[in-house]
Chains A and B, each alone.
Chain A
Amino acid sequence: MKTIRYIIQKEFKQIFRNKGMLPIIFVLPLLQLVILSNAATFEIKNIKFSYIDNDNTSFSRALIDKFEASTYFNVVSNFPSEKIASSAMLKGDVDVILEIPNNFERDLVKDKKTNLSVIINAIDGATAGVENVYINQIVQGFNKNALVELMQPSVPIAIGITNKPKSISSITSFWYNETLNYKTFMVPGILVLLVTMITLFLAGMNIVREKEIGTLEQINVTPIKKHQFIIGKLFPFWIIGFGLLTIGLIISKVIFDTPIVGSLGLIYFYTAFYLLVILGMGLFISNFTDTQQQAMFIAWFFVVIFILMSGLFTPIESMPMWAQYLTEFNPIKYFVEVMRMVMLKGADFTDILPQLLKTLGYAIIMNGLAVWSYKKTS
């Protein structure tokens, strides 16, 4: 016990003396949380909208006004012809072109029917899809109002109220994130990313560093036990992991006002096991590498795959089946799920039990492998 305590003490001394490492541990993650949470958004705003108004009536202008009023669209220009509009799209000046046909108002009044043409830049398919939905919503809303306005005068009053146009409107209520605030969704996920990345990199590089500077050889000749050394080396990073989580939670509360509905204790409880997985992984990597550079590259490789397949940025449900099976082996996925469940839904212990058990199993396997592959003799 005394030996372990001394190694831990020594590790902390080294960590805090490493002037290059301190900012990496504490400052970069915070920047990451603040920047990524604000920037990594799928909300599509500031769409560069342009139109060709061939009709030029009060009706067509009312439609344009609807777009002007929307927060999603920036009406950038009004083109006289489709040809000019197309070349502007080619240059990337506009994302969307709405063409209002000749006799737009007249056709609508007479035939109660007309066509609008919409051209959307679809290099990014997902964005184009969302833009299309926005445009449709605006056009339909306009359409509904227009019908009411246009038709009402023609209806004889004598027939009475029954003939008044009716419409069904649905009011959606969004649970767990009422205002559909993107940050509420992202912050818990990015918190996971930060805890995972920093802990894995530091733990992975730590033992390799002793290999690189030759102290491991000196240590291996001493009667120190395998478990003493491993616990002594990894425990400080377990603590640092908690430190990162705490700082992250404080920031998400103070800066982003992310709701923390569930119990903080439960988050820490789960994190305790999750960090074991990450530390085991770090140790495993360092057993099979000789330099910090190699360790860094391997750790990076796994982190990128784990993150992209964690459901943090893209929903797992929309991945192909084989990829969905693969995500079962992704510890980050469970942490992301648990964080969102506990922070946003207020999940309790029994709710996260499946994730907790899988993480626990993962931790046992990973650390087993790591300890088994760590050898004092080469």
Chain B
Amino acid sequence: MGISVKHISKSYKKVNALKGISFEVKPGELFGLIGPDGAGKTTLFRILTTLLFADQGTASVSGYDVVKDYKSIRNSVGYMPGRFSLYQDLTVAENLEFFATIFGTTVKENYDLIKDIYIQIEPFKNRRAGKLSGGMKQKLALSCALIHKPKVLFLDEPTTGVDPVSRKEFWDMLKRLQQTGITILVSTPYMDEAALCDRIALIQDGKILQIDTPQGIVKHYPKKIFNVQADNMYELINLLKDYAHQYSVYPFGEFVHYSDKRADFNTADLQSYLTEKGLKDIAIETTKATIEDTFMELAK
């Protein structure tokens, strides 16, 4: 009853946007599609929201087939496109009312569902949507997508271009929405947001690399991973990349995430190599692989 995608393929004139994707989203689940720009996330959303036909494969949303039962789907899903696409020249209240009306409902009827979110932008309800800040636009768009009490909510990169505080608030709202039983499919290029989902699918070049829980997905990282630190970050990266036994080197905040090819890797070896090359204040310690590490590894 959630979302079911089976062998969906879609190509545009020259680009193969989706290459036989399959996955299931359970009812009431918060499912994340994690992938870089151009991975095919938006194409998948457009197919699931009946805006686009797939070349191959079948998909169903909330039990309805995306091709045959498109009318039922349009009644029961909420879609928030990546780009802010409400009427900028209508006020907050007018936008909400407009979407309520074309879904054949009223704002009052489903106010409970959006109350938490809408209350934050209600003081600005007579302001034109175009004059809202990024975070407020996002809240309005979410309110509009929820106004008809959808069973499934599609959010295409909802937090791209939104400040960190608003992003956090947004995810808190999603968590609360999930408790009302709504199935949520959300896409994001941010790895830190991935950890907040129930399950995630890593997607790249139209293919799914891995599907698992955020905790489970990092287990797919095949090596032990180390935080390496030194006084000269740039030199450190270059030296690590030149190191004969390196398996992967990625800068990660103030550290460099390093993994080694050898099974019997000893941190002392690396320490002496780096000291020899003239780096100071070297610190090497084991750490857990993150989703980002896993993604980089799987995307290789």
A complexed with B: yes
Enumerate chain A interface residues (CB-CB to B < 8 A).
Answer: 2-3, 6-7, 10, 13-14, 17-18, 213-215, 217-224, 376-378
Specify the chain A residue showing the minimal Cβ separation from B154: A221
A83 to B23, CA, bound (A): 94
Least CB distance, A226 to chain B, in whole angstroms = 12
A345 to B88, CA, bound (A): 49
Pick the 5 closest A-B CB pairs, nearest first.
Answer: A214-B85, A6-B101, A221-B79, A223-B74, A224-B102
Least CB distance, A221 to chain B, in whole angstroms = 4
How many residues of B sit at the interface, in one of the four size bands?
A: 20 to 34
The residues of A that contact B134 with a CB separation of less than 8 Å are none
A17 to B94, CA, bound (A): 13
Specify the chain A residue showing the minimal Cβ separation from B100: A6
B51 A221 Cβ-Cβ under 8 A: yes
Enumerate chain B interface residues (CB-CB to A < 8 A).
Answer: 46, 49-53, 70-71, 74-75, 77, 79, 81, 83-90, 94, 97-99, 101-104, 128, 144
Known: A3-B102, A377-B50, A377-B53. A218 touches B79 (CB 8 A): yes
Known: A221-B74, A221-B77. A3 touches B101 (CB 8 A): yes
Specify the chain B residue showing the minimal Cβ separation from A228: B102
A220 B51 Cβ-Cβ under 8 A: yes
Pick the contact of A222 from B83, B84, B99 — CB < 8 Å?
A: B99
Additional A-B contacts beyond A218-B86, A223-B103, A377-B51 (13; CB < 8 A): A2-B101, A6-B102, A10-B90, A10-B94, A10-B98, A14-B89, A217-B85, A218-B81, A221-B51, A222-B102, A223-B75, A376-B51, A378-B52
B102 A219 Cβ-Cβ under 8 A: yes
Pick the contact of A13 from B84, B85, B94, B144 — CB < 8 Å?
A: B94
B98 A223 Cβ-Cβ under 8 A: no
B50 A221 Cβ-Cβ under 8 A: yes
The residues of B that contact A218 with a CB separation of less than 8 Å are 79, 81, 85-86, 99, 144
A223 B81 Cβ-Cβ under 8 A: no
B74 A222 Cβ-Cβ under 8 A: yes
B102 A18 Cβ-Cβ under 8 A: no
A214 B74 Cβ-Cβ under 8 A: no
Pick the contact of B85 from A3, A14, A17, A213 — CB < 8 Å?
A: A213
Specify the chain B residue showing the minimal Cβ separation from A14: B89
B51 A378 Cβ-Cβ under 8 A: yes
The residues of B that contact A13 with a CB separation of less than 8 Å are 89-90, 94
A6 to B98, CA, bound (A): 7
A14 to B83, CA, bound (A): 20
The residues of B that contact A6 with a CB separation of less than 8 Å are 97-98, 101-102
Known: A220-B51, A221-B50, A221-B74. A18 touches B104 (CB 8 A): no
